[in-house]
Every structure is written in C-alpha cells, then in structure tokens.
Amino acid sequence: MAKIPVIISTDPGIDDAAALGMAFYRPELDVRLITTLHGNVDINKTTANTLKLITFYRQDTPVARGMETPLFQPVVSTDVHGESGMDGYDFPESTHRIVEEHAVEVMRSLLESSDEKITFVSIGPLTNIAMLFLMYPHIKGKIDRIVLMGGSLSGGNVTSAAEFNIWADPHAAKIVFDSGVDMVMIGLDVTLKALIGQEELDPARKRSQAAEMFNATFRHYRDGDMENGVVMHDMCAVTYLTNPEIFHVEPKRITVITEGPAKGMTMEINGEPNIQVATEIDQAAFKAWFAETLERME
C-alpha cells in the first residue's frame, strides 16, 4: 500500500505531542516535514518542543521553523499546556538539528520537487500555510488536500464563538479556507468527544515509554481529568487521515470572521461548499484506533 506523504504544521502543545507520535507510527503515513509556528506557546518553545519530540519518538524527520506571529495581529497564546507547552514529563534534550531555511521556503522546495501531491496536516494556527499561498500561489496545485484541526459550528473554546487554532490567526485561516484547495475541517464538534484517559493508557504503561509520557503530560492538559478522559483535539486530524470512516463529514460553505467580537468564528453560510466538515465521531472506534497505534509505539 502506498503511503500518504504529509507535511505537518504544529505548535506543541500537549495534544500536538500525542498527535505527532501517532502520525510517526501509522504505517499509512510518510511524514516528510514538520513545520513549527506560534500558537500554544511562543515559537521558540514550540520549535524546541518539536525537536525534543523527534528525539523522544526516535525519528529523523526534518523540522523547519516557521511564522513567529500571526499575519495581522499580535501573537496570542493560552496557559492550558503549561509554561513549556509540554509540562509534566522530563523530555531528553534533542540532538536533532533544525533546517536552516524558513519553513515556507522548505515547504515550497519540497512541494516543487515532489512527483506526487502532498497532504497538509495542520494542528496549529494556519499562518505557515497562508504565507505559503501568499508567496507562492502556484504551489496550491501540488497539494492533495489540507486536513486541519480547527474551527467549530457550535461555539468556541477560547471565546464563545471561536476555536483556538482559528482565533490565533483568523486572517490566515480565511486565506486558507478561501484558497480553493480541498480541505477537511476537524473541529470542536467532534474533537470534544475524542477522549483518552486512564483506561486507555494503563494497559500499555509498563511496556510503552510513549504511554507513560502521555499519562504524565495529559494530567497537565486543561483539567487533567484522567478518569473521564482528556480531549485529543489534534489527534483527530491524524485519525481522519488514516481512518476517515471513524468520522461523518458533510460538505459546507464556511467563512472565517476576522474582526470584532466573533473574531475566529467559522461560520456556515449559503453557497457552494468549500470544505468537508466533520460532524460526528465514532468514539469507540477512535479509542480502538488509539490503542492500536499505541501498540506500534512500544
């Protein structure tokens, strides 16, 4: 079976850290590049965290540093991931070296030299991808699709209207949503139901360093409710890419509000659909997918 070539844009982040691990160990995926950017914490921390994760997961995937700030607004972040972005676990320092070029240039070069279209997985703000489209609009034809964790049709998690990844750079999100590239939006409508907790981790903790790391970091994520499970927002984008049948998606026309009290809102409007939106998730199948992938990481 041919692997799906992917570029991941990320801002680790506790759930990003778990999502990256899942992507590395899924046999369906060929992770060719990771780009970092502002988001859950500042870009120095997101980049350092990504390099630590490359070492932790025993990978050699290239890492390129991307956009430090949103396109048209001051940088924003929250404290839900702790001071470092990955509090709760003592990661070894990384010896993995970052690519010297800016992430936008590395993405352009990789796409232009590829004989096959590449899928983008965005689990942070969309600034890197938006800047790529602004600087090199011709490159859109080299992208198979974008699977993003972000947005919501039913209220936000950072404001009443907006989900964090879209709110963190709504102008970038609007550029990407309006780009014409095939897209799948995995938003809060389904990710809030994607719960992983003690029951899913305990069977693997004695034999899996990854399970032990998840157990430690998940306790520092939002409310850290390991009994009922913590929400795996970003992991859902990886899950969809390998097993789309776990989700129900519907074509919709979505626009992004860029200014005012509803900034960052992903609003459904009338018109030709521009994106596939996940509206339901099979929770049992998601947990089974997680357990299967975790076994591969031992």
Q: Phi and psi at residue 123, in whole multiples of 5°?
A: -120, 25
Is 233 annotated in the active site?
A: yes
Phi, psi of 165 (to 5 degrees): -60, -35
pLDDT digits (tens, 9 = 90+) for 30-75: 999 999 999 988 999 999 999 999 999 999 999 999 999 999 987 6
- Per DSSP, the three-state class of 143 is strand
Structure tokens at 116: 């096959």
Beta pairing partners, 249: 278
Q: Write out pLDDT tens, residues 91-121.
A: 888 888 899 999 999 999 999 999 999 999 9
- Is the pLDDT at 205 greater than 90? The verdict is no
Q: In whole angstroms, what separates CA 164 from the centre of its chain? A: 12
Catalytic residue among 138, 171, 233, 248, which? 233
Q: CB under 8 Å to 18, separation ≥6 — which residues? A: 196, 214, 217, 218, 232, 234, 235
Per-residue pLDDT of 165-183, as tens digits, reads 999 999 999 999 999 999 9
Q: What is the DSSP string of 160-215?
A: SS--HHHHT-HHHHHHHHTS---EEEE-HHHHTT-EE-HHHHHHHHTT-HHHHHHH
- Band of residue 81 on the pLDDT scale cut at 50, 70, 90: very low
Tokens of 272: 């030709």
Residue 17 has pLDDT above 80, yes or no: yes
Q: What is the pLDDT of residue 183?
A: 99
C-alpha–C-alpha distance, residues 111 and 140, integer Å: 9
The angle subtended at Cα 160 by Cα 159 and Cα 165, nearest 5°, is: 45
